[in-house]
A = this chain, B = another copy of it.
Amino acid sequence: MSKQQVAYKTYLSENEIPKAWYNIRADMKTDHCPILHPGTLKPVTVEDLAPVFCDELVKQELNDKDRFIEIPEPIRDFYKMYRPSPLVRAYCLEEALQTPAKIYYKYEGGNTSGSHKLNSAIAQAYYAKEQGLTGVTTETGAGQWGTAMAMACGYFGLDLKVFMVKISAMQKPYRKTVMETFGASVTPSPSDTTNIGRKLLENDPESGGSLGCAISEAVEAAVTTEGYKYVLGSVLNQVLLHQSIIGQEAKAAFEKLGEYPDIVIGCAGGGSNLGGLMSPFMADKLAGKKAPYFIAVEPASCPSMTRGKFAYDFCDTGMVTPLAKMYTLGATYIPSSNHAGGLRYHGMAPILSQLYHDGYINEARAIMQSDVFEAATTFARHEGNLPAPESAHAIRVAIDEALKCKETGEEKTILFGLSGTGYFDLGAYMLYNEGKMTDHIPTDEELQRGFDAIPKVAV
């Protein structure tokens, strides 16, 4: 450990928690194309979104002007219970790899929800409470987002109805338990509590559900219940805005250390984690300053950036939401059973899609599942931290880049986002340990079927 010069963990003080979120849209050279109303195919307005989302969040969603949006005091108070999160220097991993590279990770898994999702959940719950709402609805697949929302609503005394994909609710009963412990009500979806749920059950009483169906039920429940709105944990501009706190803290910590990353790596499903980690560094690039090389990492089984189309598409499988211009595999694309549930999304946040399209995100890399778990296990043993499979996509690439430095002798500074803990993914680790981990690279024909479902929208 003779290499140690700076601390293993760099914490900011609580009064250094950012007082405003950074809105990257204000700095983008080309803003993302407007979100379109699914009926009129015209850009959505405040009035279109108001029945579904909280007023303040609608404003944030459509705000492309203000570089910074103040974080209300009650949200900062909640942040103080688990933030600032540490920027960790992975000395032990560096030692194991024998690399001259410096590897840093920003760790967002140290709160009870187990991931970065809490950063946006508490903000969305706050605005709902401020608006005088009784409660909110949302959907959850693996349970990460539902847990974060349950904690946030429990804290503000707001009701929460979670529609949980039925098969997940059956496979992960404890996730349901956590949400209920924080006071949420959890309904396996499809359910007989909504029109769309009843219709689906009529067609298929044994349906295990899907995220697309759960979204549809949650939206229906929100718009038909007095005093309720709907909240969502990724893809949206507002979510990337709230998650900017990750990158802002990371950047401030690097400043304290007198360092700056050469490479920034994040896993990308809907884009909330990568978007949040990256945006304050991307600000440098947009301003023409020295900036890192940005790498988005996705699973080979769900390669929206590396093999998808940049096109207008629905945000949900059910095709009821507005359309966004993004990298997409088609709303009907169903990724093969892959255990990084948080990365199984057919599209990508419009902000990230635009930045990738315009070359600001330098590279997207698709990774095989078994390579991901090999990296996860290496990381766990050396760093004493069991990562979420989603986050381990970023670890894989960080290790690969560090090994390149070993060959070239370069002392690059690598930053990756450790977005969550692997506590809730031990079923996937078990498969890996038992040699039963499978993966599937979609064929061109399989992808084509998804592309065929992308609506033809003249832009």
Contact = CB atoms under 8 A, between A and B. Distances in A.
Contact of A386 (B4, B78, B178, B382): B178
Interface in A77-110: 77-78, 80-82, 88, 91-92, 110
Contact of A174 (B173, B177, B427): B427
Interface stretch (A5-13, A53-61, A226-234): A5-13
B426 A177 contact: yes
B433 A182 contact: no
Contact of A155 (B9, B154, B381): B381
Nearest to A15: B7
A358 to B, nearest CB: 38
A192 interface: no
Contact of A384 (B151, B386, B430): B151
Q: Please give the count of copies of this chain that the complex contains.
A: 2
Contact of A82 (B151, B181, B384, B386): B384
Interface in A133-176: 151, 154-155, 173-174
Contacts of A88: 81
A401 interface: no
B110 A110 contact: yes
A8 B77 CA distance: 9
Contact of A92 (B92, B155, B380): B155
A295 to B, nearest CB: 25
Residue of A4, A82, A427 with highest tally of chain B CB at under 10 A: A82
A413 interface: no
A336 to B, nearest CB: 22
B7 A433 contact: no
B7 A384 contact: no
A193 B98 CA distance: 39
Given A9-B80, A430-B173, A182 B380 contact: yes
B421 A112 contact: yes
A68 interface: no
A382 B426 contact: no
Nearest to A150: B381
Contacts of A429: 177-178, 181
Given A81-B92, A182-B381, 10 more contacts: A1-B77, A8-B80, A9-B80, A82-B384, A151-B384, A155-B384, A178-B386, A181-B380, A181-B433, A423-B423
Q: Closest 7 A-B residue pairs measured CB to CB?
A: A174-B426, A154-B381, A8-B80, A177-B430, A177-B426, A112-B386, A1-B77
30 contacts: A1-B73, A7-B13, A7-B14, A7-B80, A8-B80, A9-B14, A81-B88, A81-B92, A81-B383, A81-B384, A111-B384, A111-B385, A112-B380, A118-B384, A154-B381, A155-B381, A155-B384, A174-B430, A177-B429, A178-B386, A178-B426, A178-B429, A181-B377, A181-B380, A181-B386, A181-B429, A181-B433, A182-B381, A423-B423, A423-B424
